[in-house]
Structure 1
């Protein structure tokens, strides 16, 4: 184990940007200034190929506004249901340039919501015929886009 991690919600400005990387790069600078020490932030989004990457960087707002039902309405009659969850984690320490770590989980949008686990888009994001909301926590954590970005950070920290 490399050390203790403490979750602190110091808040940061989420800029309107085209990519998760831009949001994380801006946010990590602000978080580092508030914490006076090592800091990390994570931003994630659902990118649907046939919708040209929508909802993407606006995933939280879109979920709060139209939810899974709205996404499924947008996908009615669409054959290409490929989608990817992306996670971008920004990490910085005093005196160093921020570093960005990424994780992805490829899947597709299900025809209808299924499962009671997880949160957000999990009931409509399907991998191999099973939605994330139908998976147990261990299975979800093993394939998670967030888990992948955190493992990348952990690997980088261990190599220092």
Structure 2
């Protein structure tokens, strides 16, 4: 099954491909599909932003589209940066700048609990929206560790290792995006089976 992934983030695209290809999906990026527009993420929830991104692609190509919106929720910061994770320290912020700001805001705070959240919006062939959410709990470290992953991964600690120190396979097995994508894949496969039986 061919799906267009509504993202321009190469790190996310790699994760989508790694997780979905073995499950029988042919992953096509929005740029490979020929989408050159840009989508303003004006939603106040992960689900709203995921839908905006998926819908922009679907309206142009009318084929199954997957978008995610994900971010980091830090308990001591009232769940910030949340939906603003990618632009935490400004509209065109780099991962480095965002990580610096996070460390700065957590200075002197003893509660470092955090969770990554991912909401996947899958628009099927008819344009119906289906949502799948995954979370991954951890805490924010005091310094960057590791060079793998992207975003806040070097600061996101599970036990004594950061996501920046996990291999791609280790991360996919427990990450918020891995969980949401596998739930979505399961739903699609189940649905296809049911439709196949109904057609007989």
TM-score, reference length from structure 2 = 0.74
The separation in 1 between residues aligned to 2:151 and 2:26, in whole angstroms, is 28
Q: CA deviation at 1:81?
A: 0.7
Deviations 1:113-132 (A, max 9, x none): 11121112111000112100
- Deviation of residue 16 (structure 1)? 2.1
User: What's the offset of the Cα at 1:7?
Assistant: 2.1
Cα offset, 1:134, TM superposition: 1.1
For 1:60, the equivalent position in structure 2 comes to 86
Counterpart pick for 2:70 among 35, 44, 48: 44
User: How much has 1:96 moved relative to structure 2?
Assistant: 4.3
Shift in Å at residue 39 of structure 1?
A: 0.9
CA distance in 2: counterparts of 1:129 and 1:3, whole angstroms: 34
Residue-by-residue CA offset, 1:45-96 (whole Å, 9 max, x unaligned) = 1111110111111111126263212110110111111111111111112434
Structure 1: segments with no counterpart, 5+ residues? none
What is the aligned residue count?
A: 160
| Cα 1:15/1:3, change in 2 over 3 Å | closer
**Aligned-residue RMSD, C-alpha:** 1.7
TM-score scaled by structure 1? 0.91
Instruction: For residue 143 of structure 2, give the secondary structure of its aligned residue in structure 1.
Output: coil
Out of 112, 118, 121, the position equivalent to 2:149 is 118
* Alpha-carbon distance in 1 for matches of 2:170, 2:125: 36
| Other-structure match for 1:75 | 106
User: Which stretch has the larger CA shift, 90-99 or 46-55?
Assistant: 90-99
Match of 1:5 in 2: 27
Q: Residue 48 of structure 2 aligns with which residue?
A: 22
Q: Unpaired runs of 5+ in structure 2?
A: 1-22, 192-200
